[in-house]
Amino acid sequence: MTPPTLRPPGQVVEIARTLQLAGFEAWCVGGAVRDALLGLAHLDWDLATSATPQEVRRLFKRTVPVGIEFGTVGVLDRDGRMHEVTTFRHDVQTDGRHAVVQFGASLDEDLARRDFTINAIAYDPIAKQLRDPFEGQQDLGRRMVRAVGVADERMREDRLRALRAIRFAARFDFTIDDATWNAIVASAPYLTRLSPERVRQELEKTVEQVVCPSVAFTRWRDSGAFGALIPSLADVSPSALASVDALPLPTLASRPLRKLLRFAALFGGLDGKSAERALRALRFSNHDIATISALVERMTVHGAVLEAQFRSHGVPADAALRALAASLGRLRAAGFSRLLAARLAVTEPPVPAPILRLFHRRLLRVAFRDAIEVADLAVDGDDLRAAGIAAGPTLGRILQALIAEVIEDPSANTRDALLARARAMASVGNA
């Protein structure tokens, strides 16, 4: 009996039917089958077939050679949506990093090269029949990630599997089979052979897919994966890990920000420079490095001070909040506040949520309402030059001094008042 969730989209069934009518095998495989059996939605239903890539390209009108060397052809359906069709294959000659594939394999051989039993279940959508030679369904029922075959050997073939096992276990809240876990621990010293890009992708998928990433990152720590790959996180603290989970759930639009905040929380026990070094080694984008390490660095400067204030006096006054917003930069204020709230929600005793919410609202209000940057002043450099102040470093210092005064007292941000102050500063400077 197949469960009701095992229902591939009509277009996928059509592609499978075309392949089968031409005399080939066609099976749904991989993540979609696993997720359907778990009752979860999955968008990409991949097919595996006995047809060669050339045969697949001949059978369908519109195809894209997405990964021809691995046997993958993209078949476009009527709506222009692409579905991946991959020729049965087995891997040969692996060196722990690169697999060389060979076609002409059977379905069972194709399933045998897959990483975990839960990822090695096939479904024939025409005959409505499952093929599960490694008892993946039983492991789904036991909620367990288990390597296909001999765990040690499978991890030696491809060390990335160690990180994938940890990610799948955290994502589905599964345990990891003992032999598989031991193979992960044994793999840790060799993870440095993976390219930094692949490691970064695993980290990114983890913070994007997993509801409680701390579960995954705790295993990265305990297996030695952090020690090998990100030594500064080798002993990452339970509170830093807990704060990753405590960040608010995102709306769709705020997902990219959540990713950065989750990394900022993970690196929250470090100083900004160490976080930056670690992120650079993992080839994060310059934008991501700048945002994450700035948040980490600002937290080391302001975090403890704000915590002490929240615990004694509540939320600081507007002038102090403006100074904080200025030091963060307007666009980082919201992220900083979310990150701080997550950290302080998991300290003992936690800072009460209403204080953190009030802080968030008031920080954002001053950040976007008040003048906190030189560009927000009622005068600019041209105005000061017209008032007789020579261009040069002094003029720059005067603008900085003016914004500092305006942050203290927003009512000072008028053209006349600022010009008068600027002249006074210039004459003192000249004297």
> Where does this chain bind ligand ATP (CB under 6 A)?
30-31, 114-115, 119-120, 158, 160-161
Return the one option of ligand ATP, Mg ion, none that residue 219 interacts with (CB less than 5 to 8 A, by type).
none
Alpha carbons 221 and 213: distance in angstroms, whole number: 12
User: In the bound complex, what is the minimum distance in angstroms from residue 297's beta carbon to Mg ion?
Assistant: 36
- 329 near Mg ion, rule: CB under 5 A: no
Query: Shortest approach of ligand ATP to residue 252 CB, angstroms?
Result: 18
Amino acid of residue 303: G
If the CB atoms of residues 41 and 431 are measured against ligand ATP, the closer one turns out to be 41
Q: How far is the CB of 167 from Mg ion (least distance, A)?
A: 12
Indicate the residue among 115 and 139 with the shorter CB distance to ligand ATP: 115
Q: With helix as H, strand as E and coil as C, how does 87-115 read?
A: ECEEEECCCECCCEEEECCCHHHHHHCCC
Q: Which does 161 bind (CB under 5 to 8 A by kind): Mg ion, ligand ATP, none?
A: ligand ATP
**Shortest Cβ distance from residue 154 to ligand ATP (Å)?**
8
Please name which of 345, 343, 337, 344 lies closest in space to residue 363, comparing C-alpha atoms.
Answer: 337
Which listed range, 2-10, 23-31, 236-244, 392-400, lies at the site for Mg ion (CB under 5 A)? 23-31
31: contact with Mg ion by CB under 5 A: yes
Is 67 a binding residue for Mg ion by CB under 5 A? The answer is no
For residue 361, the minimal CB distance to ligand ATP (Å) is 37
**How many angstroms separate the CA atoms of 223 and 184, rounded?**
7
Residue 86 beta carbon to Mg ion: minimum distance, rounded to whole angstroms:
12
Select from ligand ATP, Mg ion, none the partner in contact with residue 146, using the beta carbon and a kind-dependent cut-off of 5 to 8 Å: none
Q: Tell me how long the chain is.
A: 431
Partner from Mg ion, ligand ATP, none contacting 343, C-beta within 5 to 8 A by type: none
Residues 191, 153 contacting (CB under 8 angstroms): no
Q: Residue 289 contacts by C-beta under 8 Å, 6 or more apart in sequence? A: 276, 279, 280
From 26-34, 192-200, 284-292, 310-318, span contacting Mg ion (CB under 5 A): 26-34
Q: Residue 349, preceding bond cis, omega within 30 degrees?
A: yes
Q: How far is the CB of 44 from Mg ion (least distance, A)?
A: 6
Q: Is 47 helix (H, G, I), strand (E, B) or coil?
A: strand
Q: Which residue is nearest to ligand ATP (CB)?
A: 31
Q: Can you list the positions of beta strands (E) in 302-419? A: none
Task: Give residues in contact with Mg ion (CB under 5 A).
Answer: 31
